[in-house]
Chain A
Amino acid sequence: MRPTSALHAIRVLVPVKRTIDYSVKIRVASDGKSVDTNAKHAANPFDELSIEEAVRLKEKYKDGISKITVVSIGPPKSADVLRTGLAMGADDAIHVEIPEKDGSLEPLGVSKVLAKIVKEGISTGDSKEEVGLVIAGKQAIDDDASQTGQMLAALLNWPQATFASKLELLGTPDLGQEVQVTREIDGGLGVVKTKFPFVMTTDLRLNEPRYASLPNIMKAKKKPFKKLTLKDLGLENEVKNRLETLKVTEPPKRQGGTKVKDVDMLVSKLKEAGRI
């Protein structure tokens, strides 16, 4: 028998994407249809905020949060970002491996995979647990789509709280328990109230992700790590990309202009250009 307090404990699912590191200046690949991915990669920065938020929830509510599962859908190397998640405090990881040659799934495909994992529940030992919260980043810094969390919420018919900068629980985590989320909107902040289960997407101001310590990196190697394929999930025919990239080009280069020697010259140049 599990203790009563953990009966409806919330399991948190955190999707993580492996992207080219934000500081890398990207280049268009020689095929003219993609970018050169031969560069340093890391976990998408927004996904680190998601992991951090999940870990903080667990630290605060202990029994209220049963487990944090990080999941990545991508090529074999995506395992790296899952290990980062485990070292930051996630309990286990699921890697849905997409062969390198197949490229990356579009947000719609990713949300279908995530929806399937949520609907099936995640096995822990001999029991299956329901996911009660998904925390995703608001956008991936490679495709800049900003779609996956919203699409997942739609497929699950769950409420969504996007671009969150603050999450407040109005009681111990439990299905049906209310939460209040402050969202970054155009012109300021918006506050909404919703209930578990729901999908939240994280914005920059939510938290400051922690660094994984060396002991935690070592411990992470022993944490459960499950590998799946689209076939294992029965999605090999259902998840297909719908968009064909015809070409990728460099944006038009701005002409680096002149340097002026003082404020007077700046003012007169601006007047000349009709800007003031």
Chain B
Amino acid sequence: MIATRSAISLGKLAIRSSGAATLGARSFSSSRSSLASTLLFVEHRKGEINPATLSALTAAQKLGGDVHAAVVGSESEVEGVADKVAKVNGISKVFYSASKPFEAHLPESLAPLLKSLLEKGSYSHLFAGHTAVGRDTIPRVAALVDSAQISDIIEVQGEDTFVRPIYAGNALATVKSSDKVKIITVRGTAFEAASTEGGSAEKEKIPAGSAEAPTEFVEEKLTVSARPDLGTASRVVSGGRALKSTENFAKYIEPLADALNAAVGASRAAVDAGYADNSLQVGQTGKIIAPELYVAVGISGAIQHLAGMKDSKTIVAINKDADAPIFQVADLGLVADLYDAVPELTEKIKK
């Protein structure tokens, strides 16, 4: 089951490739009266800064203090990324460091480096994106500095007070930290990306320390798609269990996505049934997105799915079942058989 479900079998994979990141731009002014000083962990791939890092920076700037960035990577790549980070608006210093384990984001070597940086600079905060890399690495840092992490924040209320969703987004908790160093991961869709221009931070190369990792990177198998990246796309078309097969997914969902220049997503049911790749799952345990337009096709709208998309600006639902919960959150609902409605919609959008 696992083998057949592995992404290799989908034949859409390449080793270490990436989708292009589109970066939203917005400048942010901040007062410098605060005592907060933040270290920002920079995630990057193929020389591009991850948009989640830029959103984390916007969140960090709400504190008003200095923000320094930590960039790690391979010897050949890290300097180029550090140059880009130095130009990001709102960063005053960039530390960068190179080693082989850093290239593969291995948390066993990354966490001690971040810990030593946090201690040397007496930072009050560490900010990072709540991405797969952030979720892997940042809790390890938190434990090393004996701090209770606050995950996936959507609002900054003060230097020690943050808002985060719990129970699949069905409640929002406002929590106040009593830790000396606040360790924060940020929900990318809750903050606009900081501008990648206008900054001129100084750079400092730092030693990697004993970057030996007990874990070895073997390979990455990334889904290659010419479509926009699901995490940052402004339009998303998602399919659910009602598609009934991989073939139907390709026949109905993908053309509509292409007509809209949208990314493709899927419900957990569609992923579990093997109709779509794991990396396309939208929901509590998959991607959390907030595009301009979200089109849910044949998706009933379980709590866990809504957790991943209910912050979309406009939600369209196409479903045969007029009582499906998805209609309670959809701005525009069409009760119809998707096999008739989707091709018709695709044609009419193309015109």
Contact = CB atoms under 8 A, between A and B. Distances in A.
A266 B342 CA distance: 11
A263 to B, nearest CB: 5
B132 interface: yes
A160 interface: yes
Interface string B318-351: 0000100001111111111000010011001100
A161 B132 CA distance: 12
A108 B349 CA distance: 51
A145 B218 contact: no
Contact of B332 (A151, A159, A162, A266): A266
Interface string B1-38: 11001110000010000110000000000000000000
Contact of A144 (B149, B168, B219): B168
Interface string A261-274: 01110110110010
Given A139-B285, A144-B151, A162-B136, A247 B107 contact: no
A205 B278 contact: yes
Interface residues on B, range: 35 or more
Contacts of A188: 7, 13, 220-223, 277, 279
Contacts of A254: 310, 315, 328-329
B199 interface: no
Contact of A186 (B13, B133, B179, B268): B133
B143 A155 contact: yes
B172 A251 contact: yes
Given A165-B2, A245-B175, A26 B151 contact: no
Given A144-B165, A187-B279, A188-B279, A161 B144 contact: no
B140 interface: yes
Contact of B223 (A142, A166, A187, A247): A187
Contacts of B221: 188-191
Nearest to B151: A145
A83 interface: no
A256 B329 contact: yes
Contact of B140 (A153, A251, A270): A153
Interface stretch (A8-16, A88-96, A177-185, A212-220): A177-185
Task: Give the interface SS of chain B, mostly helix, strand, loop or mixed.
Answer: mixed
A257 B140 contact: no
A245 to B, nearest CB: 5
Interface string B249-263: 000000000001000
Contacts of B272: 204
18 contacts: A25-B170, A35-B166, A147-B139, A154-B141, A154-B142, A166-B2, A186-B133, A187-B279, A190-B104, A190-B219, A190-B221, A249-B171, A256-B330, A262-B336, A263-B336, A266-B316, A266-B334, A267-B348
Interface of A: 20, 22-23, 25-26, 28, 35, 106-108, 111, 138-139, 141-155, 158-163, 165-166, 180, 182-195, 198, 203-208, 241-251, 254-260, 262-264, 266-267, 269-270, 273, 275-276
